[in-house]
Amino acid sequence: MSETANRVTKARLLHSLHHGAEPLVLPNAWDALSARLVARAGAAAIATTSSGVAWSLGAPDGDMLARSLAVDLIARVAAAVDIPVTADIESGYAPDPTGVAETIRQVLAAGAVGVNLEDSAHGGSTALRPVAEQRERVAAARRAAEEVGVPLYLNARVDVFLRGAGEGGALLDTTLERARAYLDEGASGVFVPGVTDPEIIRTLVDNLDAPVNVLTGPGAPTIQELAAAGAARVSVGSGLTQSAYAVAERAAVELLTKGTYQSLERGYEYGELDTLMRTNTPPRAHPAPTS
């Protein structure tokens, strides 16, 4: 099978995973090894976290990472697993629609078959890009994918709730307005971080003709509760990365202050991780243990 045919197959699979009986659950990865571990745990697809990727490469989140570094990381993740990869590309690593299109071409060439494209305006005069501007960016992303011949899963991220761009009921109305505009330009689904209330999720699902993705974490409803509200996709963003870095600091503090190693006791054996990265065959996802 050619590379293009393989990516088309993976892209179609990624689309189908958003329309199953259960939501697509994505424990976000930030490098090749975390991607292999997530796949081994049973994930049906791999999603990268833009913040985790940026931090690991020495940059802050929020459109501060060079596109070349992001694309190189995406290529490493895609090469490490044999399941679909969807990449968080922030607002497209480009100032204009032409640049967004080029990012999409590079991301597809790197092996990913899905992207998150957000409407936040980092460093801009407003929290969010104007709707008309973001429509152009979404449309450019879709056209670029069509030109390549890969049915990209384009997850349009609407940051109204996340950035507090409105008040009260206006948040929901503005989210729906923006989501519909992006869907009109070729988005495949809608991602609304900052919303975990099942009632609001149900309203979004009932009023949008597309899969709805939510961001979850400690204190949020369970996956089962989010699924009951109609969420088609659930991800944890930088959650895994944050936890991994927390363990790293706790272990460092213990080592430097107490001279002990208890924080390291639950880590993997060196050989297990090294072997996981030495194999040329990416691990296939398997069902996670039930007990």
pLDDT for 290 beyond 80: no
Quote the pLDDT of residue 77.
Answer: 98
Residue 286 located in a structural domain: no
Quote the pLDDT of residue 291.
Answer: 31
Residue 221 located in a structural domain: no
Residue 289 located in a structural domain: no
120-159 pLDDT, tens digit each:
999 878 999 999 999 999 999 999 999 999 999 999 999 9
Residue 184 located in a structural domain: yes
250-274 pLDDT, tens digit each:
999 999 999 999 999 999 999 999 9
210-239 pLDDT, tens digit each:
999 999 999 999 999 999 999 999 999 999
Residue 287 located in a structural domain: no
* Amino acid letter, 4: T
Residue 288 located in a structural domain: no
CATH code for position 133: 3.20.20.60
Length of the chain as a residue count: 291
Q: Domain limits at 174?
A: 3-216+226-278
Q: What is the pTM of this model?
A: 0.94
54-94 pLDDT, tens digit each:
999 999 999 999 999 999 999 999 999 999 999 999 999 99
pLDDT for 242 beyond 90: yes
Quote the pLDDT of residue 124.
Answer: 79
Overall number of domains in the chain: 1
